[in-house]
Each structure stands twice: as structure tokens, then as C-alpha cells.
Amino acid sequence: MRNIKLVLEYDGTNYNGWQTQPNQPTVQATVEKALSKLTKTPIQIIGAGRTDSGVHAEGQVANFHTTAEMPLVAFQKGLNATLPRDIVVCAATEVSAEFHARFSATSRRYRYTILNREHRSALSRQTSYFYPETIDVDSMNNLCQTLIGKQDFSAFQKAGSDRINPVCEIYEAYWWQNSPYIYFEIEADAFLRGMVRAIVGTVLKCIKCGDAETELRRILDARDRAVAGMSAPAHGLSLIAVKYNASD
């Protein structure tokens, strides 16, 4: 039995998230269908991140087990010939039997994209959040230092999450600008459901307060999603990388 690791890129616009759901188009189900057709056997894949409906990925990782003896390049090229144009296999490698795309991951990295100008875009409407109000990147970066470290992020957890432990460790959280776009990148050992979008919406809310840092700390300490800001739209978010130990 071989264990194959895939790196996937996809536009999540037409999918109801990553995870397979009854009677709904999902990325996982689409890839599984293509793999089963390619190998002529039923295949189930494991994803590193369960991206929500409309969320994209540049570096989603998945793995699956198979007895198929085809070369790795055949998995990549065969899948890309079968998958719809909004899902692409960027790499296929063989890994140890113990490798698990989700549980072997040491961190995940997301990027949120904001179009910050007076008029919306016809071209990036599905990959960026149009936000015409002025954004001070330096102030946003100062505020995000409050998020760094291991703490309870219940205030940013979407209702219905199946994660029991709300404690995560954020390694990096920063904003940067390439006009007219402003980007937010965040890396952590784990993320709660809807956490990144809730953080973006909350930071945009707090920065308008007189004492933004105190307000963000109040929200974190409340550990109540109702106290935080609205979630930023899904289409601005992308899973850009999943990290593993060197042996993986």
C-alpha cells in the first residue's frame, strides 16, 4: 500500500468548502472522484485544512493510500487531465505510511486579500474583499502583536465547530501592502473554524476604536464570538501553505 501526498491549488468559488457533504459540490469529493477514475478503485483522501465554502487554496495538502503502481508523474498529469479547471495538482510525492496530511502538520499559513481603493474590481472580485475605507498598515501590524502566542481564541470560533480545545498558538500575524491590495498573513499550529476571517473582521473593527489594543484584548478575554467583529467574506481567504517536519 502506497501513501501519496498531493499539493493542491484551487479556486473555491464553485465549491461548498473542502470537506465532502451530501448533495453539495466540494473539493474533496471532486478530487476523490477523479482519483477513483484514474486508479479504477474507490479512493478517500485526507486534507490538511477544511477550508470553508468559497475559500481558496494555493498550498492545500492531501494524502491517500493506494495499491496502484503508476508513477508519481502519472498521478499528477492524470488528475490534472481529469479535474475541472479550478482545481490543480501542483505536486505528487510518495511519503511514509505514517504521514497524515492533517495530523502530521506542524503549522498552516493563510493569506487574506483586501482590495483597498475607491472602486471595486471586475477581475479580482472572487479573490479579494473590496474595502474602500482607508487602512493604516502600520497600525494594523501593531495591533496584531496582541494575537501572537498561545492563547484561547474562542472569540473567533464559528458556531458549530467540532474542535473542543480553543487554544491555538499563532507564530506570525502581519499586514503588508502592494497597492491597491493589502494582505494579511497568519501562521499558527492550528486554527478554529472561521478563525482567520473573524480575526480580519475584528481587527478592521478595532482599528476604528480610540484604543484598538485594549478593545482587541477585551474581545479575546471575553471568549465570546458575539463580542468580536463580523467575519470578513470568504472569497478573500486562501490557504497558502502547510508545513511538516523535514522527514515528511
In the block, cell 481603493 appears at: 117
Distance of CA 69 to the CA centre of its chain: 32
- Cell numbers at 90, concatenated: 501542483
Bridge partners of 63? 5, 46
Residue 153 DSSP SS3: coil
- Within 10 A of 171 (CB to CB), how many other CB atoms are there? 15
Own/partner pairs for 87-92, CB < 8 Å, 24+ apart?
87/8, 87/9, 87/10, 87/11, 87/27, 87/30, 87/31, 88/8, 88/9, 88/10, 89/6, 89/7, 89/8, 90/7, 90/8, 90/9, 90/59, 91/5, 91/6, 91/7, 92/4, 92/5, 92/6, 92/7
CA dihedral (58, 64, 68, 72) in degrees, to 10, reads 30
User: Cα separation of 114 and 200, whole Å?
Assistant: 10
Q: Which of 11, 52, 138, 224 is catalytic?
A: 52
- Cell numbers at 185, concatenated: 498573513
Q: Residue 52 catalytic?
A: yes
User: Cα separation of 203 and 144, whole Å?
Assistant: 8
Catalytic residues: 52
